[in-house]
Amino acid sequence: MYRPRLLNGNKVPMSWPIACYRLLNHICWPLQDNASRTFQLLDRLFWMLGFIIFMQHNDAELRYIIVHKDNLDKMLICGPTYLILVEIQFRAFQIGLNKESFKRFLKKFYAEIYLDKSSHPELYAEIRRSLRPIWFLSILYYTTLFSYVITLISNYRNSVRVPVFQMYYPFDISPTQIYVPIILSNLWVGFTVISMVVGEDNIISETLLHLNGRFLLLQRSLCHNAKHRIQQADYKNIADDFSNIIIESIEENVRLYEFAKKFERDFSYRIFVNLSFSAGLLCVLGFKVYTNPTGSFGFVFWMCAKLMEMLVLGELGSRLIATTNQISCAFYESNWELVLEKSKDTNANVRLMKTLLLAIGTSQKPFVLTGFNYFSVSLTAILQIIKVAVSYFTFLHNKSK
């Protein structure tokens, strides 16, 4: 499987959730550049086999819902796993079809945007601290999965042969030759789902944080270079020198925005699917935890993880919006008026003002990560989705009375 590298060729020190994503999810993670034709064919074969297994699980869980359609409590036991199964089937197999595009994104991110520890130790440490909540919610997601594994072990000790998840098969699954493949496929689907959810959350979070760090560096560099030029004793070409500083900052801003738009294009579909399912998933999880807290041990971790996931991603998205919104202010507050005061070259001053107006005009719109321009990754949008989930919960609660 592909291992990301920095621009200098060194391997990227991947966080444990992304490392698990790489090791556990062959559906999504791309192959190395030098993968042989045989491995590429096997990768496609396993992708198709995985799709069939997901469809089989989709059918079995939907059958369970239909069989218990007159019992809301039993039907909603299967609700969270069915919703996340369908969601990940949309997300995982879409990225699986576009592995090369995903690999190109990873290469570009780690080579051009990623802030490594040796070059920017302070920003790197700050980013690592900001990632701690996403690592914690990753633990919650895996804890949810292990709660199902514990149930499987308990069933085995009690000689109960049922699937790991709430599923209905129109045939007897108790024979060993049938039961074992079903359990193995259940576990594989479980780890594929969780590794996808956790891995992509971490990749999006790291991208948002490192991109935010690059925009902060842009502002600091602009401020430092402008201040340094003004403090120099030679004022002969100060206006043209200052214009060059502004132009360099514009070029860096354009480069970062181009990467940000590519980031949005690559992840827009999956963000849209994720946030589209979030309200329903939170509603069903909340309902099960509220109506049966002692019997919904795994759902408690799942609901906490989902809430944290949405709030953390929303906060990181809002942070990037705020940072990119300050770029135009950074150009305006670069002390250009002091340059005009010191410069005696009228034509150079006019060129400086035109360049400054261009810089301010082209950097006024902040970058907002969206899902098909329908959902934005921001705290405002996330809180609105949570409000919708609460409305759904109220409807279900009233219906169950």
Check: CB of residue 235 under 8 Å from CB of residue 343.
yes
Average pLDDT of every residue of the chain: 89
Domain that holds residue 118: 16-400
Asked if residue 273 belongs to a domain, the reply is yes
Tell me how far apart the alpha carbons of residues 371 and 303 are, in angstroms, rounded to a whole number: 22
Within a domain: 369: yes
Specify if 6 maps to a domain. no
Does 400 score more than 80 pLDDT?
A: no
Q: How many domains does the chain have?
A: 1
Report the DSSP beta bridge partners of residue 123. Answer: none
Q: Kindly tell me if the per-residue pLDDT of 292 is higher than 80.
A: no
Number of alpha helices (DSSP H) and beta strands (DSSP E) in the chain: 14, 2
Q: Is 371 helix (H, G, I), strand (E, B) or coil?
A: strand
The 3-state DSSP class for residue 180 equals helix
Percentage of residues of the chain with pLDDT beyond 70? 98
User: Per-residue pLDDT for 313 more than 90?
Assistant: yes
d(CA 267, CA 166): 31
Question: What type of residue sits at position 316?
Answer: L
352 falls within a domain:
yes
- What's the burial of 233, exposed, middle or buried (CB within 10 Å: 0-12/13-18/19+)? exposed
> pLDDT tens digits, residue range 63-85?
998 988 888 778 888 888 899 99
Is 1 among the domain residues?
A: no
For residue 294, is it within any domain? yes
End-to-end Cα, the chain, rounded Å: 51
Per-residue confidence at 281, pLDDT binned at 50, 70, 90? confident
Nearest to 130 by CA among 305, 320, 278: 320
Tell me if 5 is assigned to some domain.
no
Looking at the domain assignment, is residue 101 inside a domain?
yes
Q: Is 293 exposed, middle or buried (0-12, 13-18, 19+ CB in 10 A)?
A: exposed
Whole-number Å distance between alpha carbons of 75 and 87: 18
* Six token digits for residue 238: 């100060």
